[in-house]
Amino acid sequence: MSVRLEEIKSELQAACEDELPAFIKRYETDERAGVRKMLETARKRLEALEQERARLERLKRYEREYGEYQYICGIDEAGRGPLAGPVVAGAVILPKDCEILYINDSKQLSEKKREELYEIIMERAVACAVGYASPERIDEINILQATYEAMREAIGKLSPRPDILLNDAVRIPGVDIFQVPIIKGDAKSISIGAASIIAKVTRDRLMVQYDSIFPEYGFAGNKGYGSAAHIEALKKYGPSPIHRRSFIGNFVEVS
């Protein structure tokens, strides 16, 4: 007796990528139109998976190029542009055989996907760390220097110590580890992409916490960036303790 379409549909929905070839083989002789449509869906999922695996291999270009180094560390930051909150740097050493699909520049990922990948990266990374520079520190030494401080802090927390740093665009002063700056590195290196996800999720979670302390600014939604509603609240209520005074002079008078 034929398996009911509803059962096959449920089986397809529950199937992980590795189970798709067996699913296709099981039902490939079923001529029902509904089954043929589901088989086409399964084949498209497999094709998308193969494309993602190919993209991941391209993302390992720099890791392969510098493969003689044992501990390759990706470095990236989140939060250079916002009006409020810290800048956060991520530093990640991935295993040589890393196969975490969908790692990418964190800005290219949905919040849900970033959260999923954050947990996977934290579980599988050889080492992972974050560094911070406060709004006060940003105002004191400027955002670029504060970003470098956060990066140095993150690197200093890593164990084992990296043998090489793959950085998103910058060369970090005051670090005696060999560095390779890569323009748009978060979309070109799996290590930098992983670091961008760690930095972004860490900072976003922190801004959600700040939202409960300063709810009038909508930090949970805008993450400190200058949305219209955020700027309106800034003008209405004045700056909070986590606003960057050096960033908000165009909107409010700062002392």
**Interval 106-120: pLDDT, tens:** 989 999 999 999 999
Among the candidates 174, 193, 209, a domain finishes at 209
Last residue within a domain, chosen from 58, 73, 103? 58
What are the tens digits of pLDDT across the range 82-113? 999 999 999 999 999 898 999 998 989 999 99
Q: CA 188 to CA 131: how far, in whole Å?
A: 22
Q: Domain of 85?
A: 62-209
pLDDT score of 77 more than 90: yes
Please state, rounded to an integer, the average pLDDT across all residues of the chain: 95
Are the C-beta atoms of 34 and 25 separated by less than 8 Å? no
Same domain for 89 and 185? yes
Write down the pLDDT at residue 8: 87
Please tell me whether residues 119 and 68 are part of one structural domain: yes
Q: Is residue 226 part of a domain?
A: no
- Are both 158 and 53 inside the same structural domain? no
Looking up residue 142, the CATH number of its domain turns out to be 3.30.420.10
- DSSP assignment letter at 243: B
Closest CA to 88 of 153, 140, 142: 153
State the pLDDT confidence band at 1, using cuts at 50, 70 and 90: low
Q: Is residue 113 part of a domain?
A: yes
Separation CA 147–CA 124 (nearest Å): 26
CB 174 within 8 A of CB 78: no
208 has a pLDDT exceeding 80? yes
Give the pLDDT of residue 16.
85
Within a domain: 93: yes
Q: pLDDT higher for 1 or 159?
A: 159
Is the pTM higher than 0.95? The answer reads: no
At residue 152 the predicted structure's pLDDT band, cuts being 50, 70 and 90, is: very high
Least confident of 35-39, 64-68, 237-241: 35-39
Domain end point (choices 209, 231, 248): 209
Q: How far apart are CA 244 and CA 110, in angstroms?
A: 27
Q: Establish if 80 belongs to a structural domain.
A: yes
- How many domains would you assign to the chain? 2
Contacts 24+ apart (CB under 8 A), 5-8: 5/32, 5/34, 5/35, 8/34, 8/35, 8/38
